[in-house]
């Protein structure tokens, strides 16, 4: 058996303990760095997802806003008024209205309808926003016949029209809105029966209904009348309790919702905890232009027909906690749009 030479002895117990201590310190530091890196990576991913979802949500709002008023008469359309009329509704479906303020001001359908502090939430006062424009994906053309009460209109083609759609009828006497309650495909007819879900069709109203588009005098004749589908779109926030069943906790579900005509609303983005909208209004007909511009007003200064610019701020929060501090991440996006059909005026007419 060979003898162990001097210098070939193994580690002593003390040396082994010191080595193990140093190795454990290095490993602990390395694992801490790895954990920190993973947490930061997770934070970056959450922020990136929020940025992507937030931009998609605000772009959806801006796209609809940019079309506001398209194909509509300047200043909007008067809904049924006078003797026999009642208030029409928006942002409602199946007998449920999703906004506290779901009546058209003055029963007038403006291209943009402000709804300050009107989100469907338990905490906070987020705004809601409603806009109206022509849907150019459906071509209805000119009517061939309209009955005396305005409850049925015959067209050359009704393809693409569904029950619950809103139709704008226009002729030399003005414009009127009807809600489709039935589609008679065999005869290419649209029915606008009384007591529709949004209370748009009111044949007994004195003014503002489809029957008001008739020529004056006996005969119940209508001049040439065009038909087109319009979209009334509302954006609002909806808050629902999380798994604990109570409001006001971090697990609450906040959603930005989009609702069209009389349809059910659909979520646009989760984690939107605030929506703030202000308006710039301007009176083109006033003599002193410097005194007629009002900016950043929540109510459009009570004159929605004078809205020229809409400013939107969207506040989002992550749906889960992330980062080294394991906290909710917050993000703010802001944008503004001047809808061409509201801001442009042909001054040469």
For 235, list phi and psi in degrees, rounded to 5: -110, 135
193-202, 214-223, 234-243, range with greatest mean pLDDT: 193-202
- The percent of residues in the chain predicted with pLDDT above 70, rounded, is 90
299 vs 292: CA distance, rounded Å: 15
pLDDT band at 193 (very low <50, low <70, confident <90, very high): very high
pLDDT tops 80 at residue 271? yes
Q: Taking a C-beta distance cutoff of 8 angstroms, is the pair 228, 138 a contact?
A: yes
- The percent of residues in the chain predicted with pLDDT above 90, rounded, is 57
Mean of pLDDT over the chain: 87
Predicted local confidence at residue 5, as pLDDT: 58
Residue 2: inside a domain, yes or no? Answer: no
pLDDT tops 90 at residue 191? yes
pLDDT tops 80 at residue 336? yes
Q: Domain residues for 53?
A: 48-343
182 vs 141: CA distance, rounded Å: 19
Residue 42: inside a domain, yes or no? Answer: no
Predicted local confidence at residue 287, as pLDDT: 57
More confident of the two residues 241 and 157? 157
Q: Which residues neighbour 260 within 8 Å (Cβ) at sequence distance 6 or greater?
A: 231, 232, 233, 234
Residue 114: inside a domain, yes or no? Answer: yes
Predicted local confidence at residue 246, as pLDDT: 72
Give SS3 for 167.
strand
For residue 67, give Cα distances in angstroms to 17, 90, 183, 258: 75, 18, 27, 15
Residue 317: inside a domain, yes or no? Answer: yes
Residue 27: inside a domain, yes or no? Answer: no
Tens digit of each residue's pLDDT (9 = 90 or more) over 322-331: 777 788 888 9
Predicted local confidence at residue 8, as pLDDT: 58
What is the signed CA dihedral for 286, 173, 103, 152, rounded to 10 degrees? -160
pLDDT band at 122 (very low <50, low <70, confident <90, very high): confident
pLDDT band at 291 (very low <50, low <70, confident <90, very high): low
Residue 35: inside a domain, yes or no? Answer: no
Predicted local confidence at residue 330, as pLDDT: 87
Report the 3 state secondary structure along 171-233.
Answer: ECCEEEEEECCEEEHHHCEEECCCCCCCCCCCCCCCECCHHHHCCCCCCCCCCCCEEEEEEEE
CB atoms within 10 A of CB 343: 15
pLDDT band at 346 (very low <50, low <70, confident <90, very high): low
Predicted local confidence at residue 327, as pLDDT: 81
Burial 230-257 (b: 16+ CB within 10 A, else e): bbbbbbbbbbeeeeeeeeeeeebebbbb
CB atoms within 10 A of CB 260: 19
Query: Which two tokens mark 315?
Result: 């506040």
Residue 176: inside a domain, yes or no? Answer: yes
Hey, which residues does 155 pair with through a beta bridge? 143
256 vs 266: CA distance, rounded Å: 9
Domain count, the chain: 1
Residue 31: inside a domain, yes or no? Answer: no
Tens digit of each residue's pLDDT (9 = 90 or more) over 42-95: 777 878 888 888 999 999 999 999 999 998 998 899 999 999 999 999 999 999
30-34, 47-51, 210-214, range with greatest mean pLDDT: 210-214
- For residues 87-111, give the mean pLDDT: 93
């Amino acid at each position: 058996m060979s003898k162990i030479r001097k210098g070939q002895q193994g580690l002593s117990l003390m040396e082994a303990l010191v080595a193990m201590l140093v190795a454990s310190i290095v490993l602990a530091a390395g694992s801490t760095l790895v954990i920190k890196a993973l947490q930061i990576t997770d934070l970056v991913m959450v922020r990136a997802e929020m940025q992507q979802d937030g931009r998609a949500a605000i772009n959806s709002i801006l796209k609809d806003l940019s079309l506001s008023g398209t194909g509509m008469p300047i200043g909007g359309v008067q809904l049924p008024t006078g003797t026999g009329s009642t208030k029409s509704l928006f942002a409602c479906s199946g007998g449920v209205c999703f906004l506290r303020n779901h009546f058209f001001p003055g029963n007038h359908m403006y291209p943009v309808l402000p709804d300050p502090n009107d989100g469907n939430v338990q905490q906070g006062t987020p705004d809601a926003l409603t806009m109206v424009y022509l849907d150019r994906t459906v071509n209805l053309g000119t009517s061939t016949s309209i009955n005396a009460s305005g409850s049925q209109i015959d067209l050359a083609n009704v393809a693409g029209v569904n029950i619950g759609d809103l139709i704008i009828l226009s002729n030399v006497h003005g414009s009127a809105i009807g809600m489709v309650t039935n589609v008679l495909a065999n005869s290419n007819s649209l029915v606008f029966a009384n007591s529709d879900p949004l209370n748009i069709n009111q044949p007994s109203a004195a003014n503002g209904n489809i029957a008001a588009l008739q020529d004056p005098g006996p005969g119940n004749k209508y001049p040439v009348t065009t038909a087109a589908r319009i979209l009334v779109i509302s954006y609002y926030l909806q808050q629902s309790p999380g798994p604990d069943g109570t409001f006001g906790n971090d697990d609450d579900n906040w959603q930005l919702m989009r609702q069209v005509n009389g349809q059910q609303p659909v979520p646009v983005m989760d984690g939107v905890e605030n929506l703030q909208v202000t308006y710039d209004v301007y009176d083109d007909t006033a003599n002193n232009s410097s005194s007629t511009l009002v900016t950043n007003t929540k109510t459009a200064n009570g004159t929605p027909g004078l809205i020229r610019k809409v400013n939107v701020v969207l506040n989002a929060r992550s749906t889960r906690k992330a980062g080294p501090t394991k906290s909710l991440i917050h993000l703010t996006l802001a944008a503004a749009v001047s809808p061409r059909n509201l801001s442009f005026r042909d001054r040469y007419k």
